[in-house]
Amino acid sequence: MGKIIFQVSMASAKIRHFRDRELRDGERVQFHWFYFSVFIVLHIAAVLAFLPSMIHLSSFVVFFILAWVTGGLGVTLGYHRLLTHRSFATYKPIEYMLTIFACLSWQGGPIQWVGTHRQHHTESDDVADPHSPRDGFSWSHLLWIVHRARSNFDPLKLTKDIQRDRVLCFIDRYWYVPQFILAAGLFVGGWLWLGHWTGGVSWVLWGGCLRVVLLYHATWFVNSAAHTWGYRNFKTDDDSRNNWWVALFSFGEGWHNNHHAQQRSAAHGMRWFEFDITYVTIRVMRIMGLAWKVVEPQRPGQSVAEPHP
Ligand SMILES: [Zn+2]
Ligand SMILES: [Zn+2]
């Protein structure tokens, strides 16, 4: 009996060893079973969206509109360029609206997201970077999110400005709730539009699960691919790269070397061919009087054109 207990405990220790991750600085980070389970369920649901009975034109339309609202306006414009870097200023109600849109991406609340990203900028590809490919490509893309936060990371220390705003704190506390409200709305909307309850399921799978999963990977590719493949306009101290296909799927975030070089710039695309839909959005907002204090990029001619050594 004692021998069996010993063997079982040895086996579980081996499994734990496999799932917990040892990083460059020797820290062993614990696997997060709950997050992992949520990601598995979402990925399975995303695949189910491609069942023939789930494919409807209206589901595609719902998917594209919500992907832009939550990924483009929410995560990229709201969480990243507005809250993290203050690349522009806008009215508070618009700031709160963009933050709620970002919550619908299920990438965490504003304090966690902004704190993680600010840590990424202060420690870019150094040992305390939360998601550097130097700890492994799979770690930077996906594994870091299914492990517990590292001991050297405290989002509260990095987000004092966010915490001074009581509305943002309220949104942060209940960041996961809007997704459930949206899912209920999608189910009812799809049922009414398509005339059958399976239409509601289709809208939930396309506008909810598939959208969230694809936006996860679009965001994660900025951390993984845009620190691995692509060209460099600036000699930064990190591995950031400008990657056109990441830029395409992440609403302009793939011009990541430009962004690491000029973190507060509202524009991430800086050369004529570096199309950046989010900067276009900011310019349209400025024309409409909805954005001001827009931080323009510095364009030091020779350094912008400089290839990676
Ligand atoms: Zn980066
Ligand atoms: Zn940034």
Looking at all shown ligands, the one closest to residue 263's CA atom is 2
Average pLDDT over residues 123-141: 93
Strand partners, 29: 21
* Alpha carbon of 39 to ligand 2 centroid (Å): 24
* Alpha carbon of 223 to ligand 1 centroid (Å): 6
* Alpha carbon of 81 to ligand 2 centroid (Å): 7
Higher pLDDT pick, 135 / 24: 135
* Alpha carbon of 263 to ligand 2 centroid (Å): 6
pLDDT at 7 over 90: no
Average pLDDT over residues 102-118: 97
* Alpha carbon of 118 to ligand 2 centroid (Å): 7
* Alpha carbon of 72 to ligand 2 centroid (Å): 14
Looking at all shown ligands, the one closest to residue 222's CA atom is 1
* Alpha carbon of 255 to ligand 1 centroid (Å): 10
Instruction: Give pLDDT tens digits for 203-262.
Output: 999 999 999 999 999 999 999 999 999 999 999 999 999 999 999 999 999 999 999 999
Looking at all shown ligands, the one closest to residue 118's CA atom is 2
Evaluated on CA atoms 154, 36, 259, 284, the torsion sign reads negative
- Strand, coil or helix: 22: strand
* Alpha carbon of 206 to ligand 2 centroid (Å): 28
Global pTM reads: 0.89
* Alpha carbon of 283 to ligand 2 centroid (Å): 19
* Alpha carbon of 222 to ligand 1 centroid (Å): 7
Measured CA distances, 303 to 11, 189, 238, 242, 270 (Å)? 55, 51, 16, 14, 12
- Strand, coil or helix: 31: strand
pLDDT at 148 over 90: no
* Alpha carbon of 42 to ligand 1 centroid (Å): 26
How many residues can be counted in the chain? Answer: 309
Q: Is 181 exposed, middle or buried (0-12, 13-18, 19+ CB in 10 A)?
A: exposed
Report the distance separating Cα 94 and Cα 47, nearest Å: 34
Average pLDDT of the chain is 91
* Alpha carbon of 131 to ligand 2 centroid (Å): 13
Percentage helix, strand, coil, to 5, in the chain? 65, 5, 35
Strand partners, 231: 242
Looking at all shown ligands, the one closest to residue 257's CA atom is 1
Instruction: Give pLDDT tens digits for 46-71.
Output: 999 999 999 999 999 999 999 999 99
Q: Are the C-beta atoms of residues 176 and 38 closer than 8 Å to each other?
A: no
- Write the CB contacts of 220 (distance below 8 Å, at least 6 apart in sequence): 140, 141, 142, 145
Instruction: Please give the share of the chain, as a percent, with pLDDT higher than 70.
Output: 91
b/e burial code for range 236-249 (CB count within 10 A of at least 16 → b)? bebbbbbbeebbeb
* Alpha carbon of 114 to ligand 1 centroid (Å): 13
Which range among 71-75, 83-87, 122-126, 167-171 shows the weakest confidence by mean pLDDT? 122-126
Strand partners, 89: 292
> Residue 153: what pLDDT?
84
The beta strands (E) that lie in 120-225 are given as: none
* Alpha carbon of 202 to ligand 2 centroid (Å): 34
* Alpha carbon of 234 to ligand 1 centroid (Å): 13
Distant-in-sequence contacts of 69-73, Cβ < 8 A, 24+ apart: 69/101, 69/104, 70/101, 70/102, 70/104, 70/105, 70/211, 70/215, 71/105, 71/211, 71/215, 71/218, 71/219, 71/250, 71/251, 72/251, 72/277, 72/278, 72/281, 73/98, 73/101, 73/281
Looking at all shown ligands, the one closest to residue 268's CA atom is 2
* Alpha carbon of 170 to ligand 2 centroid (Å): 24
* Alpha carbon of 241 to ligand 2 centroid (Å): 13
- Strand, coil or helix: 28: strand
* Alpha carbon of 86 to ligand 1 centroid (Å): 17
